[in-house]
With several copies, the nearest count.
Chain A
Amino acid sequence: MGGEAINRKEEAMAQPVQAQQADLTAIQDLFYRAAEMLEEGRFLEWVDLFAEDGVYTAITAANLKDRGLAIFTDRGRAGLRERAAYWMGMWQVNRGSTSHVIGNVRLVGRDGDQIQVRSKFIMTRMNRDGLVDLHTAGSYQDVLTERGGALLFQHRRVIIDNRTLPSNFTDPL
């Protein structure tokens, strides 16, 4: 899968600055809309931001350096819809408002019609006392693809800095 193929080919990016800016704006818009959909519970819209055979996976930084034991891996629209189903009620967990602040969005490579992007995020969550806690933080490593004029997620890997998860880690990352 594309995700494993993320490697920095920055030298290959001999693209006019202006085109890069346009890409970056489109990429950021995709990322921000994705986060907003997740925060607002528009999960099926979020599924449509992925390519038909898109992959969504999460892993700890420690396990990424080890054999690669994932927290979860969803493949294809069916897998993504299954995850949406869990968010929509297959889990009986309590929910609190979350915020994903995404920063450091950076093009790191381009391979045919695929764009490789890295970014950082901090995610907060309202706890059961009603206060906002830091929930997790880490990186997104994305491979995006253009289909019909729109950018889609081909492979989104969420790398979290945790080695130990907090309780109730079922919120969308």
Chain B
Amino acid sequence: MDTATRGSLFDLPSDRLIDRGIYYEPAVFAEEIEKIFKKTWQFVGHESELAAIGDYLTVDIYDQRLIVTRAKDGALRAFYNNCTHRGAALATETKGNCGNAFRCMYHGWSFDLEGRLTGLPRRSSYGPGVDLSMYNIPQVRVESFAKFIFVCLDSAAPDLETFLGGVKAPLLETSADVQVLGRLSFFYPGNWKLWSDNARDGYHAEYTHPLVGAVYRDVAESAGTIQHFAKGHSKLWWPIEGDPRNIGQLQEKILGVTGAQHNSPGTRPMPPVKIDFARGNVIAAIFPNVHLQWLMAGSEHVMEIARPIGPKQTRVDMIAFAPADESPEGIAFRLAKTMDSHSSAGKVTGDDCEAVTRITEAVHADGVQWTPLNRGLKEGDLGHKTDDTALRGFYAAWRDHMGVGS
């Protein structure tokens, strides 16, 4: 390592620097699972996915496999997806309806919708008076806000709404009454925090995504803000530039790269979906790993959850939404187009996958061990959309959890 350089970067206050080891060290990753993922509220799904009694969702918090059900009393319940007999998973699908009970495939033990052992086959061999409740599956906390369901493995953590704090507002504003269109997931070869960074980073879009670059090429000072909330959450907002119907003009720039003749009209009809032009674009980030993308006036509405798989491997689960009262034409349009820019096949996210892959490949460099977070340094929680404001906030929360001094 070139110590001179290290010295010069050290001149920045330490809370604005990241030691790049946090993106690849196995020990840091293991500690994050214990101190962050097992201590915070983790996203599961939307209440509409658990409409009927016996409906369930499964979710993994790293290696802790959980089931969330709609129980007989209509309440949500969560418990380990793990038979108390020999430990087999009870449910293997992401989503389903189990009827009255989960029946383990190994020895047929049955557990009700709250994880209580209710069926013990060939029971007598357990002796007289066996106490079934000894084998109930431990429950875990489950709460919801704006119909978004979260679980928490820590019994001492504050409740969900306290945890969410400032980020409740953008969630409510964008997602109070939605339906689920479907789910899609993808992997990327990199640390989960690279996705959290990216969702708080309004600086990259113009350079990572050539289409966005084309939009802003001649914009000297574009509008938009990044707001940091306590506990590591944030809201990125920016308006739609120009005439939203003028997508044809943009398309000409795109098609320009093909060198082809084209005759797309200068303006296109607005898509037949419910949108809210004034709200522009919103990315609400919930610490540590949830990012609600409400984009293009709400015509793209996707929740992204970055699931940690390993120090250098992450799975992003996406859920696509539509307004609950969207028209049939709107639904058809959204089913066809919502994911167009999302996912590892997406016109936008495809490039983000490349960026995080390139970081993972190169970030071990002995000569460059620190990443600066000093863009838009100033007091307060509100910055210009391209500032590092929310990144600094995220890492402050991260340090709190990990117990390292700021």
* A43 to B, closest residue via Cβ: B258
User: Bound state CA distance, A130 and B317, in angstroms?
Assistant: 12
Q: Tell whether, in the assembled complex, residue A170 and residue B338 are in contact, meaning their CB atoms are under 8 Å apart.
A: no
Chain A residues, Cβ within 8 Å of B183: 63, 69
Question: A92 to chain B: which residues have CB within 8 Å?
Answer: 105, 208, 210, 351, 354
A78-96 with Cβ < 8 A to chain B: 78, 81-82, 84-86, 88-94
Q: Which residues of A contact B338 (CB under 8 A)?
A: 69
Q: With A and B bound together, what is the CA distance between A57 and B337 in angstroms?
A: 10
| SS class, residues of chain B in contact with chain A | mixed
Q: Does B340 contact A (CB under 8 A)?
A: yes
Interface size class of A (residues with CB under 8 A): 35 or more
| Inter-chain contact B251/A73, CB cutoff 8 Å | no
Q: Are A63 and B260 interface neighbours, CB within 8 A?
A: no
Q: Which residues of A contact B320 (CB under 8 A)?
A: 69
- Count of A-B contacts with CB under 8 A? 127
* Interface 0/1 of B331-361, CB less than 8 Å to A: 0000111111001111100110110010001
Q: Is A166 positioned at the interface, with any CB of B under 8 Å from its CB?
A: yes
Interface contact B335-A78, CB-CB below 8 Å: no
Asked if B347 and A93 sit within 8 Å, CB to CB, the answer is: no
Check B335–A67 contact: CB distance below 8 A. Answer: yes
Does chain A have a CB within 8 A of B277? no
* Alpha-carbon distance A26/B162, docked complex (angstroms): 65
A72 to B354, CA, bound (A): 19
A169–B347 Cα distance when bound, in Å, is 10
With A82-B255, A85-B258, A92-B208 already in contact, the answer to whether A67 and B340 are too (CB < 8 A) is no
Report the interface size for chain B: residues with CB under 8 A from the other chain.
42
B149-163 CB mask vs A (1 if < 8 Å, else 0) is 000000000000000
Q: Which residues in chain B, 249-298, are within 8 Å of chain A measured between CB atoms? A: 251, 254-258, 260, 262, 264
- Asked if B181 lies at the interface with its beta carbon under 8 angstroms from chain A, I say yes
Q: Which 5 A-B residue pairs are closest in the complex by CB-CB distance? A: A69-B182, A73-B336, A165-B186, A169-B345, A164-B185
Residues of chain A whose beta carbon lies under 8 Å from any beta carbon of chain B: 43-44, 57-58, 60, 63, 66-73, 75, 78, 81-82, 84-86, 88-94, 128-131, 163-170
Q: Which B residues are within 8 Å of any A CB, using their own CB?
A: 92, 105, 181-189, 208, 210-211, 251, 254-258, 260, 262, 264, 315, 320, 335-340, 343-347, 350-351, 353-354, 357, 361
Residue contacts A-B, CB under 8 angstroms, 18 given: A43-B258, A66-B182, A67-B181, A70-B336, A73-B340, A78-B262, A85-B255, A88-B258, A91-B210, A91-B350, A91-B351, A93-B351, A94-B92, A129-B315, A165-B187, A167-B188, A169-B344, A169-B345
- Not counting A69-B339, A163-B185, a sample of 11 additional A-B residue pairs whose C-beta atoms are within 8 angstroms of each other reads A63-B183, A67-B181, A72-B339, A78-B262, A84-B258, A85-B256, A89-B210, A164-B315, A165-B344, A166-B344, A167-B357
